[in-house]
Amino acid sequence: NAGVTQTPKFQVLKTGQSMTLQCAQDMNHNSMYWYRQDPGMGLRLIYYSASEGTTDKGEVPNGYNVSRLNKREFSLRLESAAPSQTSVYFCASSDRGGRGNSGANVLTFGAGSRLTVL
């Protein structure tokens, strides 16, 4: 059971280049998320998808686009990378479920992708 898999794990880009971070989960979760982690700022939500076919902006969406390709996959695209987008990116997924469901609402994270924009 792989959980949440994100690729690549490391990437160096030049300013203005584009790239896509890929994320896939094999837990049949409805919801998927992209967060970025910067020193001293915790994790901030970029975009999320509550279900297949829907996406919504999070706290810091500027400069990013997302695609919920199917229930398993949720990609994050940087169209024109900037140094301010240097960060560690995490993909996560969660199930819904009601009260008493011990697995409900718990986010499962990927291993993270370190992106450096020069």
Partner 1 sequence: AQTVTQSQPEMSVQEAETVTLSCTYDTSESDYYLFWYKQPPSRQMILVIRQEAYKQQNATENRFSVNFQKAAKSFSLKISDSQLGDAAMYFCAYRTWGFGNEKLTFGTGTRLTIIP
Q: Minimum distance between the CB of residue 95 and partner 1, rounded to whole angstroms?
A: 9
Taking the C-alpha atoms of residue 21 and residue 1, their distance in angstroms, rounded to an integer, is 21
Nearer to partner 1, 26 or 79 (CB): 26
CB 36, min distance to partner 1, A: 11
Nearer Cβ to partner 1, position 105 or 116? Answer: 105
Shortest distance, CB of residue 43 to partner 1, whole angstroms? 4
Q: Which residues of this protein are in contact with partner 1, per CB under 8 A?
A: 31, 33, 35, 40-45, 48, 50, 58, 88, 90, 92, 94, 96, 99, 105-107, 109, 111-112
